[in-house]
Amino acid sequence: MRFIVYFALILLIPAAASADVIASVDDVTLTWDDILAMIGGEENVQYLGISSETSAIEVLQSWVREEVMVQAAEDIGLDSDPAVREILEQTRRQILLEAFMASIVEDMQPSQLEIENYANVWLSTYRKSANIRHIIVQDENLANSLLARIRAGSDFAALAQEYSIGPSGEAGGDLGWITRGQSGYMSFDEAAFRLEEGEVSDVVETGAGFHIIEVVETQLLSPEPTLGEIQEVVAIELTQGMQEEAIMAELEILEMNHDIVLYPERLLNHL
């Protein structure tokens, strides 16, 4: 199978007119426009370079081999196989989801002034790492109940093992040493990195659920990140935050336009 190359990632045929057919299998043709669509546009041509006729023939042959196998799969009815159709449907849904979310957040990014202002306010939190553990649950009331138990003296790690739905639960909620931006949620980081050693946060909501965070230990980063490096992390965090907020706002609008009924008790009956 070594000769089969994923054509869409490597193909480049220089100096071809966009409408030229540069390969065909029966009545299926390949043009330069097809290639540009596969590689993501003209801007990616420089990264794929084929320098000789021999290498051009090799990648065209790769496309031919891919095409004849796809046709063979269709001829024997694999595209109608229930397992294959399920995978195709899952793939279609994932592509649609990603495309729709991308359409919501297109060109959404913070201004340089927003980045600088945020970095100045939270500067110290970007200059340290923290050894953190957390509990994450889906129910806010449960989170508040667990927090009350922790403040009353219950063991954090034991509660994490019993209640936390995250993968760190089995390890007592241990996330190890992290820095700003690594959690993926700005609200989580803001809560965690303002804590002193041994402190526990209030309940913090993120897109993943409701968290209780404990900082076990902190240390200054060495070497200390520059202001420019910090602003780069801030830009990523602010962009992610803006995008998540925009998507959640759109979801609220969409949900209001549909009749939605939930049966959690039926789900629980299966567990």
32 confidence band (pLDDT: 50, 70, 90): confident
Q: How many CB atoms lie within 10 A of CB 234?
A: 25
> CB under 8 Å to 46, separation ≥6 — which residues?
none
Q: Could you give the strand order of the β-sheet that contains 128-137, starting from the edge strand earlier in sequence?
A: 174-178, 128-137, 209-220, 204-206
Lowest mean pLDDT among 39-48, 114-123, 171-180, 251-260: 39-48
d(CA 11, CA 9): 6
As given in the structure block, the two tokens for residue 106 are 């297109």
Tell me the per-residue pLDDT of 34-76, one tens digit each, with 9 for 90 and over.
878 887 888 887 766 667 888 888 878 888 999 999 999 999 9
Tell me the per-residue pLDDT of 117-153, one tens digit each, with 9 for 90 and over.
999 999 999 999 999 999 999 999 999 999 999 999 9
Q: If you ran DSSP here, which 8-state letter would residue 135 be given?
A: E
Pinpoint the alpha helices (H) of 76-208: 82-105, 112-121, 140-151, 156-163, 186-192
| Domains, the chain, ordered by start | 7-80 (no CATH), 112-220 (3.10.50.40)
Tell me the per-residue pLDDT of 84-127, one tens digit each, with 9 for 90 and over.
999 999 999 999 999 999 999 998 999 999 999 999 999 999 99
- As a whole number, mean pLDDT of residues 8-14 equals 40
Mean of the per-residue pLDDT values of the chain: 88
At residue 195, does pLDDT exceed 90? yes
Q: How far is CA 101 from CA 35, 97, 150, 173, 245, in A?
A: 26, 6, 38, 31, 12
- The pLDDT, as a whole number, for residue 266 is 87
Which has more confidence, 263 or 48? 263
